[in-house]
Amino acid sequence: MTSICIIRHGETDWNAIGKLQGRTDIPLNETGVFQAEECAEFLKEFQWDVIVTSPLKRAKQTAEIIKRKIDVPLIEMEEFVEKGFGHAEGLMLEEREAAFPDGNYPNEETNLSITTRVMAGIQKINETFKDKRVLLVAHGVVITTILASLSNGEIDAGKTRLINACISNIYFQEEQWKIKDFNQITHLSKFLEV
């Protein structure tokens, strides 16, 4: 059984203020580094075979911090780069709504394109790392796309806001992908009850 533990990258300054990042290559902020360290601390208790990451800085930094505690190969895969939002990148919600009231952003990657790309990446992981335990560090829209595809739309962006550094688990069994859980945050101290 191939299993993939999907981690959303830690927080960036743009996440903190609500700017749309897309493919803009923003690094983690101090909170994001701490979140990645908390992920590493939690994940080191389990056995892993490989870490796969999006090549964008915020995901790669998160993956590298996790790798310090989990000494397995780290591989970049372009298939998991964040959705491109074209002219809307770098804009706050109010700015996006004012500039593009119809919600269509010029030069934005289509939903079909990202779904095809990301699910091809999942298939590639299954072929390359069959029956292995894989950590995948990716982005909010990428992860939501995977979850929406595997849940036939039950889990999607309109219903679920993925928290920075959240964990979602999927596995391949009986010739199909299944979702074990998603948007898990119990490893993040910010969400622990005092």
Options 1.10.10.10, 3.20.20.140, 1.20.120.1200, 3.40.50.1240; CATH of 2-191: 3.40.50.1240
- Decide if pLDDT at 193 tops 60: no
Strand, helix or coil at 87?
Answer: helix
Average pLDDT over residues 144-148: 96
Helices (H) and strands (E) in the chain, counts: 6, 6
Q: pLDDT digit string (tens) for 158-191?
A: 778 899 999 999 999 999 999 999 999 999 998 7
User: Which among 9, 89, 109, 187 is annotated as catalytic?
Assistant: 9
Average pLDDT over residues 108-123: 97
Closest by CA position to 156, among listed 182, 187, 175, 132: 182
* Domains of the chain, residue spans: 2-191
User: Which among 11, 38, 79, 82 is annotated as catalytic?
Assistant: 82
Main-chain phi, psi angles of 55, to 5 degrees: -75, -10
What is the C-alpha separation between 4 and 48, in angstroms, rounded? 10
Element (H, E) at 179: strand 176-184
9 part of the active site: yes
Please report the pLDDT score of residue 37 as a whole number: 98
What is the C-alpha separation between 126 and 135, in angstroms, rounded? 12
